[in-house]
Amino acid sequence: MKLTVQPYFSPIQHIIQQIPRGITFLLEGKKQRSTITALDGVRALACLSVVAFHISLITTRDIAIWNPAKVPQLLRAIAFTGDTGVTLFFVLSGFLLFLPYAKALLFEATWPSARFFYLRRALRILPVYYVSLFLFIVFYHPQYLQPGHLQEIVIFLTLFMDSFSTTYKQINGPFWTLAVEWQFYLLLPIMALLMGLFVRHGSLRQRLSVLLLCLLALIGWGIFSRYEGIYLVAHPTKTFLLPRGTINAILPFVYGPPIAGLHGKFLEDFAVGMLVSTCYTVARTQDAASGLNTWLRRLSPFLLVVGLLWLLTLAAWKLNQSVPHLWPIFDHLATVYDYYAESCFAVGYGLCVAAVLFGFGWLKRPFEWTPLRWIGLLSYGLYIWHLRLLQNLTPYVAQYLPSWKHIFLYALYWGWLFAVILPAIFVLFLLVEKPWMMLGDSLRPKPKVNKAA
């Protein structure tokens, strides 16, 4: 008779094997995995690219442990283009939030409840933001507790801190993007209703054509408002259709503050995401006999390669703006970078998102990797807190580790991120973010039951 000997450490191994399941349960609960689970991984990469950008800034400007000019220029371009992960965030928001509107506009599905939309968005973004704002002020900027800063506090509380020079990138740099997101949330149901005036008529082909034109017009408006904002800020006495005083009052809300880092409201980014959302809705809703979904799946590797090459080219263009003549081919495009670069990045990220959405299993699988998805689910809190918590490490590095090689110091920041910052964000998620998300989900309108006999 053959005896089976159980390994001595099998209980410990069992516990270790259950840890990933436990983390996933804490992050997601009992809900089933979404058909677009891969976008959690994409969101994680967007957040990590911004983190990489800030680590590059900290290690080259704050403590100067490496010289960007001494690394391969293409690698340097990629490192300092990580801030465009914000663009990917905006594209993802446009895609995900427009899905129910695209279905309603094209296929006469139930129109999404504006009340539920606003309530769920508020419960999703405001609790963590307000808790973080309070903690940032108490621990890092107590001067904002003084009465003289009441106006700035009101601006932060209403999420218009991206619109005024006194609040733009103040208290916490990443906060300004939350303002852009929030303002898009406020506008989206209104924009969808206006599109409905033109779209909800005729055949599917006609509706789709009109909707695509509306979204292209929205991209055009984003580029135009960026151009006009730059021009009007550079020419403080010029007018355009309205008196200059009226323009000065409107400009902060449609463009931003007249300081370095002029940015617009990024409507072109959201519109690109909405465009991808429209294509996804049509492909998933149409009869499989149309072949659209199959055609897009076959095309997805090509979309990914083109998107990545396009983004790599844009990264080189971006670096050439700060280091002129590095790649002379971009020199003659220097004057149009501020107008068109944002929309170009959005198109590149849009192509990559479309490739993941329609891709084969092997293409989606890396983005569905469980640890990467964890980061994607924690990305909101991580995005808010990463810069400040990374900067907390800098004084200790400068004081106690000045002789370390730059590669080890650079790796130390990433170790700090995964060993300290991410666990702290996980706790923030469980204590603040998740309860309010669950409340938002519980308020979802119940489907109407047909009581007819």
- The one-letter amino acid at 25: F
Q: Which residues of the chain are modeled with pLDDT < 70? A: 1-17, 30-35, 260-262, 286-290, 446-453
CA–CA dist 402, 109 (Å, integer): 62
Q: Quick: pLDDT tens for 337-371.
A: 999 999 999 999 999 999 999 999 999 999 999 99
Q: What pLDDT, on a 0 to 100 scale, did the predictor assign at position 114?
A: 93
CA–CA dist 375, 285 (Å, integer): 30
Q: Quick: pLDDT tens for 226-265.
A: 888 888 888 888 887 888 888 888 888 888 887 755 678 9
Q: What pLDDT, on a 0 to 100 scale, did the predictor assign at position 271?
A: 97
Q: What is the pTM of this model?
A: 0.92
For residue 170, the tally of other CB atoms under 10 A from its CB is 18
Helices 204-234 and 337-358, axial angle in degrees (round to 10): 150
Q: What pLDDT, on a 0 to 100 scale, did the predictor assign at position 189?
A: 97
Q: What pLDDT, on a 0 to 100 scale, did the predictor assign at position 177?
A: 94
* Tokens 């009992």 sit on residue: 30
Find the Cα–Cα–Cα–Cα dihedral 23, 28, 30, 34, rounded to 10°. -130
Cα atoms in the Cβ-side hemisphere of radius 13 Å centred on 347: 16
Helices 379-400 and 406-416, axial angle in degrees (round to 10): 140
